[in-house]
Amino acid sequence: MPADSYRFVYDQYGNTREILVYTRGIGVYGNNYTNKGTAFTEEERRALGLDASLPPAVRTLEKQVENSVRTVGAKGDDIERYIYIRSLFDRNVTLAHALIRSDIERYMKIIYTPTVGLACQRYSSMFRTANGLIFYPGNIDRAEDILRYYSHRDIRVAVVTDNQGILGIGDQGAGGIAICLGKLMLYTQGAGIAPWHCLPVSLDVGTNNEALLNDDEYLGWRHRRLTGDEYVEFVQRFALAFRRVFPNAICQWEDFSKQNAFATRDAYLHDLISFNDDIQGTGAITLAAVISAMRAKGEKLADQVFLIHGAGAGGVGVAEQIETALKELGLSVAAARNRIFALDSRGLVTTDRGLEPYKMKYAKEPGDLAWFKEEGDGGLENVVRNAGVTVLVGTSGRTGCFSREVVAAML
């Protein structure tokens, strides 16, 4: 829809109060943000040139939702329900979100996890419309011009992925944008951010997924992933263009690989209003839960000893947030880190073995831990018992790790 065909009117808090429309006919009906389908009243149909484009009956939004609930219920499985809701979003954003809101617990698992993982895998065969921006080496030089085309939508938050670390299924190539679409739908539902202020973005730098590279239907950039300086330059071009066009918008980095997640976050920490959800989002929510637990128990955060079981991006993100909270309570960096133990698939994270850079600051010196130096056992139960752990945080992909014996070791 052209920028001069509508205008947002805001309330005193910056929320959209109404959309003023300066076009008629298909210009209204063909835009998913202004289309109301059969909910247009007779007066609206005449005023907007829609009186011959719709059947005579007028359905209220409530009746439209009832009809959509029946339609969704008739679908055979959740991926079919996902396709229906996404198609509804493409036609009528208001109705799509009203449907989701009618039973958020039911529909959340359809528009996001676990169903969205399958949608990522089937992206090419299910493709209908992008509903977001896809940058690849063939158009990244025009990133600023492309973003400016969306400036009239007053973009306030963009969820941006490079498609490499999608959920627990890894490199999904172009299909990762489904994660961005789903997450932004949750932000509309949970935070009230209008969908026209949201922008899903895929940084398609290629894929190392052999199945996709050999799939004739694959719609992404059919090359192996950019790495090294080429990758860094690509992301930088996008980030600089985004900052120029949307200087006040949030850029959320989503589902990058662990190494790129930390590097990208740190590179633009002070130059862009941005955060990495897998690192900082996970950490913030976990810290909030821990603080609430301390209040319920009547204990001090600074007195706790923490064990992070699973030292991936999320686990290290939790450790970083806890460290920050402890420093705000007056602890030094060293004192804060001394209270945080991290375990990965090989046990206690220590400095005497090869580590990814992002784990280093939480690695323990074996010689500083008499019990570890003596026993050499960096397993979960032993660390809990000997380190005096009082708070367990599980960020591992494995289930059942916090056994009765592990919990008993805390007592």
- The last residue of one of the domains, among 254, 272, 290, is 272
Q: Is 112 a catalytic residue?
A: yes
For residues 166 and 251, state if they share a domain.
Answer: yes
Instruction: Give the domain CATH number at 284.
Output: 3.40.50.720
Query: DSSP assignment of 303-329, as one string?
Result: G--EEEE--SHHHHHHHHHHHHHHHHT
Active site residue: 6, 112, 123, 358, which one? 112
For residues 308 and 246, state if they share a domain.
Answer: no
Domain-located, residue 149: yes
- The last residue of one of the domains, among 272, 302, 328, is 272
For residues 346 and 256, state if they share a domain.
Answer: no
Residue 367's pLDDT is 87
Residue 276's pLDDT is 94
Helix ranges (H only) for 54-201 are 61-73, 78-91, 93-102, 104-111, 115-121, 123-126, 143-148, 177-191
Residue 373's pLDDT is 75
Number of domains in the chain: 2
For residues 312 and 337, state if they share a domain.
Answer: yes
Residue 377's pLDDT is 79
Residue with the two structure tokens 């790129």? 260
Q: What range does the domain containing 298 cover?
A: 280-410
For residues 167 and 231, state if they share a domain.
Answer: yes
- The last residue of one of the domains, among 214, 249, 272, is 272
For residues 120 and 266, state if they share a domain.
Answer: yes
Give the pLDDT means over successive 10-residue stretches in the chain (411 positions): 78 90 90 94 95 94 98 96 96 97 96 94 91 96 96 94 86 93 96 95 97 96 97 97 97 92 92 94 97 97 97 94 98 97 93 90 91 81 94 91 92 86
For residues 268 and 286, state if they share a domain.
Answer: no
Domain-located, residue 91: no
Helix ranges (H only) for 127-171 are 143-148
Domain-located, residue 335: yes
For residues 391 and 258, state if they share a domain.
Answer: no
Domain-located, residue 105: no
Domain-located, residue 57: no
User: Whole-model pTM?
Assistant: 0.90
Active site residue: 36, 183, 258, 364, which one? 183
**Other beta carbons less than 10 A from residue 407's beta carbon:** 12
For residues 290 and 397, state if they share a domain.
Answer: yes
For residues 249 and 328, state if they share a domain.
Answer: no
Q: Please name the helix (run of DSSP H) or strand (run of DSSP E) that holds residue 252, with its range, or none.
A: strand 250-254
Instruction: Give the domain CATH number at 237.
Output: 3.40.50.10380
For residues 246 and 287, state if they share a domain.
Answer: no
For residues 286 and 150, state if they share a domain.
Answer: no
Q: Is 183 a catalytic residue?
A: yes
